[in-house]
Structure 1
Amino acid sequence: MNTLRTVAWGGGGFAVLLGVWATIHYGGPPVRFLPTVALGLVAATLPFGIAYTKRAVISTRRRFADVDDGFSAETGSIFVSTTTVDDPLDCLETIVPAIRADDDYEEVTRESFQEGPGLMVLYGGFHNAFVRITEPGRVVVTGASERTHALADTVSKASGLSFERTRNNPFAGLKPVRGASRVFLGVIVLTLILGSAVAVGTAAYPSDTYNPAERTVLVGIDARGDLAPGVSRTDTRLSKAAFLVTIVDEGAQEVTWARNDSERVTAYGRQALRTSRDARALLTTVREGPLTPTQAARADSLDRRLVDARESVAVAMAARIESGSVNETAEMRRVMAELRADPGATSSGAG
């Protein structure tokens, strides 16, 4: 199995399973996770689909080509029976005596091919022709010289079958995409797989508070909570709260970026405020249930970190105002005040 097919099947299958898991875990209308499943299916089947389409196009082009165009004794001839046989072995046993009785052929031997039993016919000292039978039961005569046509006539008389000359070898499998097209296809498959992960994050956390990468991390934390042994729901909530506190803390750095004007600074402040509220809600939910000493200590630590993170964002916004790099606005002041007022903080967290 080639690498591209492995990546496509593995990644596409993972995306489908991810969509199914998300539907169960997050609930709500299943249709919202349909894009994830659809992208996974496309990623898994795209290499096969392109290879199959390529073969179909070539086959159609050959079928409607000029009758004599493309037939060459030097490049090989293919004859396929117009009807099928019920017993391949019996058919071959009928053909063997007829070939042996023909002085044009030196030897005929029974061979086992990948698709089943067949015959190898030797003539001209070193030339070979083959009689094989497809899985549906069609007899196929192939060779690389004009003698193949005569062999097809011999087989036809012995078996009572009619043969048609064709350019399509029934035993030729799908040829994988190769070269630069293969690289390009690989990029598309990987993009589809990554897109499926982004899609499930967007559906699970539709708020514009988080960017695609942050949504994906949150989904990963949820998945770990469901799939990793020994991880409780409380541990999962604490892990999500810790990640959100980190996002709030990073907001202080984003506020200091020189290219941000008043509107952008205020927007970063609002984003930090919304994220901190989500973190606070998680910590509140955690404290409503039973906690182990380790979990309680972690919750207290996150409380303190959250208060500090909110304050750091407010301080960074105030610094931008004092430096004169942005125009002070009433909305900016309001956001700063809300960041500094954290009514949900516990006494231990605030202390």
Structure 2
Amino acid sequence: MRKIIHVDMDCFYAAVEMRDFPELRGKPLAVGGRSDRRGVISTCNYEARKFGVRSAMASAYALRLCPDLILVPGRMDVYKQVSSQIRDVFSRYTSLIEPLSLDEAYLDVTDCTACRGSATLIAEAIRKEIFEATGLTASAGIAPVKFLAKVASDLNKPNGQYVITPDAVSEFVKTLPLGKIPGVGKVTGEKLASMGLHTCGDVQGAEPAMLTERFGKFGALLVERSKGIDPRAISPNRVRKSVGVETTLAQDIYELSQANQVMSGLIPELSTRMARGAPGRGIHKQVVKLKFADFKQTTIEHRSDSLSVNLFQDLLALAMERAEGRGIRLVGISVGLAEQQTDEQNSNVCQLDLAL
């Protein structure tokens, strides 16, 4: 039986800004891009959330919801520095740390002897040390499995924690909405609701074969999660699976030639990110992403073991056909990284770098 802690910083970017600039405290605040440049909200404080402002929301829309919203640009170098301080705190208690982003991580403290081995007390100690080191608050979830620890960390925010003990798992999951299970997004949630399935308890009463027939392997996983089963171990050395870059445009574009110009500007940055974040890794696919003026999006991908500008152009042309007259507000390109690189793939990456 594992002891898993999920630590999640409270409105991290915004909290750092309020710490460094006390005059921002108590006011609705968001970190994100400028509204006149089609910016998007990265995160916001709790005062802003009262108005309905949320991350990934267009900055212009956020300002309509909250006219007094203070919008500041992000300072990624500062956030990374603070994240490193937080990681140092984690490492005092366990080496089994799986970062999910700069502001959240899973910790396996099963074998930790601090705090008499109590995961609840360890989480309290970690949150206290984070505050002492950074001046920022964190919330935590404690459970015997990963996905329930993540669910729990959101139940007593901000600056709190929630514990799901092993003997409480069965009762807890009965009323848990299926949307809390990783992989159950809007579309899958609507399909499940149409089948009369809204909670984990509903899935427990359903026929597993029916779910497998409808959802394939995910149906079997859904049955497991609905019973509180999650055998995944903490992965301290998670292998990066993709590298991408995208840009939100100041004005909508409508022509393929315009989209090609935008994409041409993204390719050097993609190459730089591959060299920095995945040195020596080969690829197995290329992907083009477009977001339309109505905020719907599409992606097209194709297998490839060498990064080809021509392939990106072909995929972009296919994606543009799906616009059906709608303007394009975002263009993105990415590559799926190969699990094991070959000498030939390494050579292809180097050739791209030289070509750019």
- Name whichever structure is richer in strand by fraction: 2
Question: Normalising TM by the smaller chain, what interval?
Answer: under 0.3
Larger radius of gyration between Structure 1 and Structure 2: 1
**TM-score normalised by the chain length of structure 2:** 0.18
- Name whichever structure is richer in helix by fraction: 1
